[in-house]
Amino acid sequence: MIVKNESKNLARCLDSVHSIVDEIIIVDTGSEDNTKEIALSYGANVYEYEWCDDFASARNFAISYARGEWILSLDADEEINLTTDLSIYLKSLSLSILCNMIYRYQVISDSDKFIEEGYYFRLFRRDQNLSFKGRLHEQLFYKNRPIFEQEINHSIKEQIFIKHYGDADGNSLRKCREFYIPMLERIASKEPLSWMLMYYLYGYYRDVGEIEKSLQCSEQVIERLIPYIISGQKPLDFVFVPTWLITLCQTYFNNEDLESLFAILPRSLQWCDRSPHILNLAGRTLSSLGFHLGAIAYLQVSLDCYIHKTYNSNLSCQFETFSTSFDFLAAEAFYLQGCCYIALNKLDEAVISLEQCLLTNCEFSDAREKIFNDAREKIFLIKKNY
């Protein structure tokens, strides 16, 4: 664990792990409260580390002290929950598995309810070839490359999961203002931010209401992207570019800025030709302009990605970032297809698409549920009048 001034959270986290692990390694980056004393009371090995605005560096420092075969990495505002024997579980994994992803739920303040977040790299082998990269929201790499899908195991949610209390006390905005934004601004004063770090700074500014600064981030990204869009040559560090393309296209669509949208949408479709996000957006755009047959074609490609699992493998980060499940993207594509068929007066096809929307297994939120309610209403009206 990497900690600083976590006296409020640390005991809860260590209570959840101290009986299931062989050693506890705590790296403190400058606590001024009794965080270190709490860690020592649990028998932890505590090491001090001078903070340098680099989470990957701190995590690699921490894992250098590990002696176990497997490493469990947690944050102080989390706790692990098990309904299985962790030791037996790890022994059951194939030797080809380098890391195990654990599902995390966000705890809602003063409630027994959780919000589903997604899988995270938290359990991995102690291997000199495994290390973290990235100053913020660091990722695990093997021999300086991303970990391949066949090297990853996903634990069953009901057997192993993490509760995340990070936003339960309304602390997230304070962290943005007092820690994340100043950190990224310090980095930006010394070197250009990566696509990923620029995206997070853009989001943090937006979260705290600094809309003008958020817009400045997106404008800087557009300026950096324009030469690549003109030449057609992908940026070498492409991994997070799709996230920016989705964000920019969605923003232009919402603002009805078709000139800007059509400047980057064709290249987005070329570079991310199996991205359900971008394909759905292309379908929605063409439908709004009255080109319903073209919209249906793009939406069908999106659905083929979902049905045959042929979406771009290098776009995994965008789905985590947007917290949008593949199921919902498929449901949205079916819904949009249904709307296009209605516009074309192909009501039989419309009912089939809308019914497929309703049948698609999807996690609900208020925003997503509107699509389903709308689909039900359209089906009712078609069957009533046709």
Give the pLDDT confidence score for residue 170 in this predicted structure: 61
Q: Which domains does the chain have, with CATH numbers?
A: 2-164 (3.90.550.10), 171-231 (no CATH), 238-385 (1.25.40.10)
Residue 316 has pLDDT above 60, yes or no: no
Residue 366 has pLDDT above 80, yes or no: no
CA 267 to chain centre: 23
Give the pLDDT confidence score for residue 116 in this predicted structure: 73
Q: pLDDT, tens digit, for every residue of 134-190?
A: 898 888 999 988 888 889 998 888 899 999 987 655 677 888 898 999 999 999 999
DSSP at 194:
P
Give the pLDDT confidence score for residue 322 in this predicted structure: 41
372 to each of 75, 288, 347, how far by Cα in Å?
36, 20, 18
Residue from 334, 324, 340, 341 nearest 371 by CA: 334
Tokens 């066949």: give the residue.
Answer: 150
pTM of the model: 0.79
Residue 201 has pLDDT above 50, yes or no: yes
244 to each of 26, 247, 276, how far by Cα in Å?
35, 5, 15
Non-local (6+) Cβ contacts of 252 within 8 A are 258, 260, 261, 264
Residue from 199, 219, 330, 237 nearest 277 by CA: 330
DSSP at 148:
P
Q: How far apart are CA 152 and CA 75, in angstroms?
A: 21
Give the pLDDT confidence score for residue 64 in this predicted structure: 96
Q: How far apart are CA 341 and CA 354, in angstroms?
A: 10
**3-state SS, residue 308:** helix
Mean pLDDT lowest for which of 3-12, 27-36, 238-247, 294-303? 238-247
Q: How far apart are CA 81 and CA 79, in angstroms?
A: 7
- The rounded mean pLDDT for the chain is 89
CB 247 within 8 A of CB 319: no
Q: What φ, ψ does residue 270 adopt, rounded to 5°?
A: -70, -50
Which two structure tokens, joined as six digits, stand for 115?
């919000």
Q: pLDDT, tens digit, for every residue of 256-293?
A: 999 999 999 999 999 998 889 999 999 999 999 999 99
Question: How many residues make up the chain in this entry?
Answer: 386
Q: State the DSSP string of 267-300.
A: HHHHHTTT-HHHHHHHHHHHHHTT-HHHHHHHHH
Average pLDDT, integer, range 124-128? 95
